Amino acid sequence: PVDMADRNPVIVVVGAGVAGLAAAKKLKEYGFNDVTVLEASEKVGGRVATATLGTACVDTGAQYIHGTSEENPVYCLLKKSGLLNQIPEMGEETFYSNKGHKVDVNIARDAYGAGESMIRYRGSNTGKSLGEHYAEKTQGVIDSVQDDDKRTRMQSVFALVGKDMLIDIGASDLHRISLDSWQYYINMGDSLNIPGYDSLMFQLVDKLLEDFPKDRLLLKREVSKIKWDGSFSVAPALCQYPVCIVCENGEEILADHVIVTISLGCLKAQASSLFIPSLPTEKMEVIEKLCFGNIAKIFLEYEEAFWESDVGTISLIYEDDIPASVSTNKMQWLKNMQYFSVLRPKERLMLYQTIVTFSVIIKKIIVISSSSSSIVIIAVNGAKSLGSQHPNKDLQVLFAGEATMKTLYGTVQGALLSGHREADRLAAHYKKTVAPTSTTSVEKQV
Backbone angles phi, psi at 169, to 5 degrees: -110, 5
Question: C-alpha 87: how far from its chain's center?
Answer: 22
**388 near 188, Cβ under 8 Å?**
no
When mean pLDDT is compared over 52-66, 126-140, 191-205, 423-437, the highest value belongs to 126-140
Query: Are domains 4-48+199-279+386-445 and 88-193+292-375 of this chain identical in fold?
Result: no
**204 near 77, Cβ under 8 Å?**
yes
Instruction: Give residue 84's pLDDT.
Output: 81
**CA-CA distance, 428 to 51, in Å (whole number)?**
40
How many helices (H) does the chain have, and how many strands (E)?
Answer: 10, 19
pTM of this prediction? 0.85
Mean pLDDT throughout 276-301?
86
Instruction: Give residue 367's pLDDT.
Output: 40
Instruction: Give residue 345's pLDDT.
Output: 65
CATH number of the domain located at residue range(s) 88-193+292-375 in this protein: 3.90.660
The reply to whether 157 sits in an annotated binding site is no
For residue 204, the surrounding DSSP H or E stretch is helix 200-209
Residues 6+ apart with CB under 8 A from 77: 204, 207
The reply to whether 145 sits in an annotated binding site is no
User: By 3-state DSSP, what share of the chain in percent is helix, strand and coil, each rounded to 5?
Assistant: 35, 25, 40
For residue 197, the 8-state DSSP code is: G
Instruction: Give residue 237's pLDDT.
Output: 62
Q: Check the CA dihedral 378-383-386-387 and report its sign.
A: negative
For residue 314, the surrounding DSSP H or E stretch is strand 311-317
Extents of the domains making up the chain:
4-48+199-279+386-445, 88-193+292-375
Task: Please check the confidence at residue 370 and state whether its pLDDT lies above 50.
Answer: no
Instruction: Give residue 286's pLDDT.
Output: 87
For residue 343, the surrounding DSSP H or E stretch is strand 339-343
The reply to whether 223 sits in an annotated binding site is yes
Topology annotation, domain 4-48+199-279+386-445: FAD/NAD(P)-binding domain (3.50.50)
**259 near 14, Cβ under 8 Å?**
yes
**382 near 271, Cβ under 8 Å?**
no
Query: pLDDT grade, residue 110 (50/70/90)?
Result: very high
Q: Check the CA dihedral 197-207-193-335 and report its sign.
A: positive
